[in-house]
Amino acid sequence: MSDIASLILAAALVNNVVFVQLLGVSAVANFSERLQPAIDIAIFTAVVLILSSTINQLLFWFILSPLGLEMLKLIVFIGISSILATVLARIVRENFKLTARQQPIGFYLAGINSAVVGVSLLNSSITPSLTNFLNTVAVSAGSALGFAFVLVGLGAIKIRLSTSDAPDAFRHNPVMLISAGIAAMSFLGFAGLF
């Protein structure tokens, strides 16, 4: 049980998807001004990430590798995660009208988010450690947690910085990117923890 927990923490904190592996930076970089949309998209992407990477991993083990079609994994993974994202986005559009209206295309783009696809690619390429299914779920859950944590963190920083009078050259995105950079420095400090 403890190695599952350490796998999750490792994926969430030590090699965090956004700050250390620099995947999904594009999704994080469009800092939305209000925290609520940031939380929504963070949770949505986390769910999509967990589901798609587990399904991709199963596909990889039981269909692609027996048939020797490993080289097709990129197309398959992107296909599966974007279908999944569109299905979930459809559900969100039905029940959560306001959330859907706040970011009309944000939910659909979550499917082709480089973090989502990146995690499934990484899982399938590391052969020895992720043989059993539970580890895959743990790693993808960890990276989903890490991604959501960074997105919500930067959203809260955006709210905090919206009331600071930074010089004009650093007004919005420069200050946010500096903050992300410094935070990434601290995540690097966790290297070698697990």
Partner 1 sequence: METPFVSTIFTVILFIGIALVFCLYALAVAYNSLKQRRVQDQIFVDKINQLLPQTQCGQCGYEGCEPYAQAISQGEAVNQCPPGGMATLVKLTTLLNDQVKPLNPAHGQFEVFKVAVIREDECIGCVKCIKACPVDAILGGPKLMHTVIEAECTGCDLCVDPCPVDCIDMVPVTAAESPAWALPSALPDDLNNFPNNVERQA
Partner 2 sequence: MKPSTISSPRQTNSKSVSNLMKTVLICLCPGIVSSCWFFGIGILLNILIATIAALVFEAVCLACRGKDPKVQMTDLSAVVTAVLFALTVPVGTPWTFIVAGIAFAILISKHAYGGLGQNLFNPAMTGYLFLLLSFPLAMTTWHIPLNDLTSGMPISPLSMEGVRQSLLASFPFMAFDSNMSKELIDGMTVATPLTLTEMASPNAFAAALSSDASIWSRDARTGWEIVNMAYLLGGLTLLGLKVIRWHIPLAIIGTVTLLSLAFYSPGSATITGTPYMHLFGSATILGAFFIATDPVSAATTTSGRLIYGVIIGISLYSIRVWGSYPDAVAIAVIFGNFWAPMLDHFFKPRSYGHKSKLSQLIQGLKS
Query: Which spans of this chain sit near partner 2 (rule: CB under 8 A)?
Result: 35, 152-153, 156-157, 159-161, 164-167, 170, 174-175, 178-179, 182-183, 185-194
Binding map of partner 1 across residues 89-118, x = CB under 8 A, - = no contact: ------xxxxx-xxxx--------------
The C-alpha R_g of the chain, in whole angstroms, comes to: 17
User: Is 125 an interacting residue with respect to partner 1 (CB under 8 A)?
Assistant: no
Residue from 105, 132, 165, 186 that binds partner 1 (CB under 8 A)?
165
Assigned token pair, 181:
């950079």
- Measured from the Cβ of residue 22, the count of other Cβ atoms closer than 10 Å reads 13
Closer residue to partner 2 (CB): 38 or 117:
38
Among 16, 21, 32, 113, binds partner 1 (CB under 8 A): 32
Nearer to partner 2, 16 or 52 (CB): 16
Rounded-to-integer distance, Cα 136 and Cα 115, Å: 15
Residue 121, CA distances (Å) to 11, 18, 53, 157 in order: 14, 15, 8, 30
CA distance 60 to 73: 7
- Tokens linked to 82: 């974007």
Least gap, CB of 149 to partner 2 (angstroms): 9
For residue 103, give both structure tokens.
């970011």
> How many residues in total does the chain contain?
194
99 within 8 A of 40, measured Cβ to Cβ: yes
Nearer of residues 14 and 51 to partner 2, judged by Cβ: 14
Q: How far is the CB of 164 from partner 2 (least distance, A)?
A: 4
Enumerate binding residues for partner 1 (CB under 8 A): 32-34, 37, 95-99, 101-104, 161-163, 165, 168, 171-172
